[in-house]
Amino acid sequence: MSTAFPPDFLIGAATAGHQIEGGNVASDCWALEHVPDTVFRHPSEDAVDFYHRWREDVALTADLGLQALRFSVEWSRVEPEPGEFSRAALGHYRRLAATCRELGLRTFVTFNHWTTPVWFAAEGGWTNPAAVDRFARYVDVVAAHLKGEIDWAITLNEPNVATVAAVGGGGVGGSAVGDLARALEHASRRHPSGQGTFTPMMLWEGDQLGRYTEAHRRATEVIKSHVDVPVGWSLACVDYQAVPGFEDRAAEVRNQALTSWLEVSRDDDFVGVQNYTRRLVGEHGVQKPGPGVAVDDLNWEYYPESLANAARNAAAVSGRPVVITEHGVCTRDDEQRIRHTGQALGHLAGAVADGLDVRGYLHWTLLDEFEWFSGFDVTFGLVEVDRTTFERRPRPSATWLGGVAARKTLR
């Protein structure tokens, strides 16, 4: 097994706005966090206050030796009311991107990491016939404002995640704790609209592949009208493996949750691969890890080979270069984080040595975060954050990964 990466291989960290910024009060997720029967274990509140402490966090990322930072622009901050754009918010994200680049960090800018403005959700979210036009308008404004400070662009984060959850391959940061249908009813009453029922984030039924593909392609076109950078989307790439004798069933699951989405990337500059585990597929579909199988705090199997497997599959289907836009470990056991990540990177390095075109690896995630339905009960963070004082304390895994980035080797 190879332990080295090419000199130009990027190693960095990934983040998402709503999960770390705090105070994202105009978003659909914030609204859903604050209704009776909420499906979230905790509200995001101040999260880890990245919105105000970003300079400290960007400097820390660079000081650790990492070479790239992925962050998302919060649509609800930039466009808090339909067609009304905040110059202050746009300036904030431009300063964030510019400071990253000044400190030697490549920027991976995600234009939508699940959350949308509350007004967009009130109009029916992605089910509204005007949704793609709304999204393209927002992307156009942001891309124009961040021109010159974007190195890589990601249109949509894990648009296939609801499909993955539907087939049994994982969920939105753990399991919902309340009654989603009742929570959505409450949200609809609080945020009425004559154009649709309150439909937040990816929590909707219908032709998601068709709608998100249209949004992705429109956004790609708009971004490229402003900046000449690689553009793609990032997909939840579970490593689906067949129980012997059920290869056809596994192929069916893989096609529904992943293959048809990867085929969209054939027209892109790269495909973002987000992998955390494998799932076995048997007679009754996707199986949960069995007794005695080592799992993390979200009950996902530790299976370090899954990262390289997912990257190979993504490249084979899409025919495009791969960037690992998320991979990490949900645990507070930092020794396990280092051990598992090191093993996964070893398998990935071997695949790269065999000719697989992987351009970089972004670890999920930089900071302790609001992990969606699970709230603050779990974490993937390289950096521990005291949620009372917001003090940052890098875990040993942060220093370790920075060393790997500097040496381009696991030894």
Contact 78, 93 (CB under 8 A): yes
Note the pLDDT of residue 176: 77
CA pair distance 72, 276, nearest whole angstrom: 20
Query: Does any domain span residue 1?
Result: no
Q: What is the pLDDT of residues 243-273, one digit of tens each?
A: 999 999 999 999 999 999 999 999 999 999 9
Query: Does any domain span residue 50?
Result: yes
Query: Does any domain span residue 182?
Result: yes
Note the pLDDT of residue 70: 99
Q: pTM here?
A: 0.98
Note the pLDDT of residue 196: 75
Q: Which residues contact 337 (CB under 8 A, 6 or more apart)?
A: 328, 329, 331, 382, 395, 397
Contact 48, 368 (CB under 8 A): yes
Note the pLDDT of residue 194: 75
Query: Does any domain span residue 4?
Result: no
E strand map for 87-178? 106-110, 152-157
Q: Which residues contact 156 (CB under 8 A, 6 or more apart)?
A: 111, 112, 212, 215, 216, 219, 233, 234
Residue type, 191: H
Q: CATH number for the domain including 137? A: 3.20.20.80
Contact 240, 169 (CB under 8 A): yes
Residue 285 DSSP SS3 = strand
Query: Does any domain span residue 3?
Result: no
Query: Does any domain span residue 224?
Result: yes
E strand map for 162-228? none
Query: Does any domain span residue 113?
Result: yes
Note the pLDDT of residue 195: 78
Helix count and strand count (H, E) for the chain = 15, 13
Question: Quick one: DSSP state of residue 65?
Answer: T
In the chain, which stretches have pLDDT less than 50? Answer: none
Question: Quick one: DSSP state of residue 287?
Answer: P
- The residue segments making up the domain with residue 167 are 10-407
User: Which residues sit opposite 241 in a β-bridge?
Assistant: 280
Q: Which residues contact 278 (CB under 8 A, 6 or more apart)?
A: 238, 239, 240, 241, 301, 303, 305, 306, 309
- What is the count of structural domains for the chain? 1
Contact 341, 397 (CB under 8 A): yes
CA pair distance 384, 51, nearest whole angstrom: 17
Residue 275 tokens, joined: 């992998």
Q: CA torsion angle for 184, 39, 35, 197 (degrees, to 10)? A: -10
Query: Does any domain span residue 5?
Result: no
